Structure 1
Amino acid sequence: MRLAFISDIHGNAIALDAVLNDIQGKNIDKIYVLGDLCYRGPEPKRSLELVRSLNTEVIKGNADEWVVRGVQNGEVPEQAFEIMNKERDWTYSKLNSDSIDYLSQLPTELNLEYNNLKIHAFHATPLSLFDVVQPHDQDKAVEEKLMQRVANLYIYGHIHKAYIRYINGKCIVNTGSVGLPFDGLNMASYVVVNVEEDSYQVSIVRVKYNEHDVIGQFRESDYPNKNLMENILAKARI
């Protein structure tokens, strides 16, 4: 069984196209989507349509929650609060009521089992859509924040930095971001899990897409924070 986990598309449908094309060539049996589908990208509507066309299990990210109800005080730095709500309003205006209802009703975690492999997947942490766990955090902090359920493999998104790590015989994996990588490598990121009868293999896949076309989409749009977003896309860093 070959599984693909994708996350943090952020309205970048061009990058999502590239990832889905790559997945198609890898004989993947099942795709799972770990949130942040629309917000902060030039194509929120098409990104969501692509995700929904997969007819698969999708969970909610913090950005999906923001699209539904707006960014609230304390969730972002004070200086970014106003502009990020303007970005949210722009994204909201591109979606219909059915899309908003879909985002609002998404679950927040996946508990999967394939052979003897138990997988717990979520967006940021099992208890929060907003908390941040970085690749370099201490083992104890990772255990307390991420390893809440009994599982062999924990998979999450949110931080836009792909990595694989082992703690006490358990595997922790971050998918990185399809549409907005923050690790300096300007390639979309996702995770493949290959499950055999008595073993499993986890790999991070990076896929080239044309970020210049996405930057061009921002430039031609009336997106309210496009200079910042163009810079992030160009550098693959915040």
Structure 2
Amino acid sequence: MKIAFISDIHGNAIALEAVLKDIENKHVDKIVVLGDLAYRGPEPKRSIELVKGLNTTVIKGNADEWIVRGVNQGEVPDKVLDLMNEERDWSVSQIDQADMDYLAQLPTEITLEDEGIKFHAFHATPTSLFDVVLPDAADSELESKLISAKDADVYLYGHIHKAYIRYVQGKTIINLGSIGLPFDGVTKASYAIVNVKDGILSTSIERVSYDYQKTIDLYDTVNYPNTSMMKNIVKSASINN
């Protein structure tokens, strides 16, 4: 079975469409979505609708939780709290109650098994939507924060917007990167493919080109709050600009 794991769309429906086309071309058997569907992008409604249309397994990310109940103090630096809630309120204004209910009821993790290979997938860590585990974390941190909660062969998550594949204690750990807002300097949507065939496991990070200028232009068209910063992030694929 060939499974595509996608996450961190962040309202960038143009990037999502490009990824879904790439997945179709690669003849993937199943898609799993690891959260952060709508917040901080110019097309929250269309992004949710595209994900709903997949009729597949979707879990909740921290940004989905923020859409539902707002950004709480302590979850982001105090200096940006009001602005991030303004962005959240704008996103909520673009969707309807059915979308809110959909995000609210999403589970926070999933386990899968194929040909004896076990997968554990979550947004940030198995116990938190907000913890940050970076690509250069020590093996001991990967073990304690990602692996220890449940036995599996492959662990997958999103949240940090920086894709990587590592191997720790015989386990495969994959971060999917981000479809809508990559932070690794590569202006291409990122997702992961895991293939299990005849008991053999193969993994890859896929990078998909899309017309990111159209996304940048949409921020102005829809009068998104915090437009300048978000346009810079999309243009540079980095939060350090």
Alignment TM class, shorter chain as reference = over 0.9
Distance apart, 1:57 and its partner CA: 0.4
Contact residue 116 and residue 197 of structure 1 kept, 8 A: no
Distance apart, 1:53 and its partner CA: 0.1
1:1-238 alignment to 2 at 5 Å?
1-147=1-147, 148-238=149-239
Q: SS of the counterpart of 1:132?
A: coil
What's the TM-score, normalizing by structure 1?
0.99
Q: SS of the counterpart of 1:191?
A: strand
Contact residue 5 and residue 33 of structure 1 kept, 8 A: yes
Distance apart, 1:219 and its partner CA: 1.6
Aligned residues: 238
What's the CA shift string for 1:29-88, capped at 9, x where partnerless?
Answer: 000000000000000000000000000000000000000000000000111101000000
Q: For residue 149 of structure 1, what is the amino acid of its counterpart?
A: K
Q: For residue 18 of structure 1, what is the amino acid of its counterpart?
A: A
Tell me, in whole angstroms, the C-alpha distance in 2 between the residues paired with 1:50 and 1:62. Answer: 19
Contact residue 153 and residue 173 of structure 1 kept, 8 A: yes
Distance apart, 1:205 and its partner CA: 0.2
Q: SS of the counterpart of 1:41?
A: coil
Distance apart, 1:153 and its partner CA: 0.2
After the TM superposition, list the runs of 4 or more consecutive aligned residues in structure 1 that deviate by more than 3 angstroms: none
Tell me, in whole angstroms, the C-alpha distance in 2 between the residues paired with 1:188 and 1:137. Answer: 23
Tell me, in whole angstroms, the C-alpha distance in 2 between the residues paired with 1:221 and 1:27. Answer: 35
Tell me, in whole angstroms, the C-alpha distance in 1 between the residues paired with 2:146 and 2:80. Answer: 27
Q: For residue 114 of structure 1, what is the amino acid of its counterpart?
A: D
* Structure 2: tracts of 5 or more residues without a match: none
Tell me, in whole angstroms, the C-alpha distance in 2 between the residues paired with 1:226 and 1:198. Answer: 48
Q: For residue 197 of structure 2, what is the amino acid of its counterpart?
A: E
Tell me, in whole angstroms, the C-alpha distance in 2 between the residues paired with 1:69 and 1:198. Answer: 43
Distance apart, 1:197 and its partner CA: 2.1
Tell me, in whole angstroms, the C-alpha distance in 2 between the residues paired with 1:198 and 1:117. Answer: 8
Give me the CA root mean square deviation. Answer: 0.5
Q: SS of the counterpart of 2:150?
A: coil
Q: For residue 206 of structure 1, what is the amino acid of its counterpart?
A: R
Q: For residue 221 of structure 2, what is the amino acid of its counterpart?
A: E
Tell me, in whole angstroms, the C-alpha distance in 2 between the residues paired with 1:98 and 1:34. Answer: 20
Distance apart, 1:137 and its partner CA: 0.5
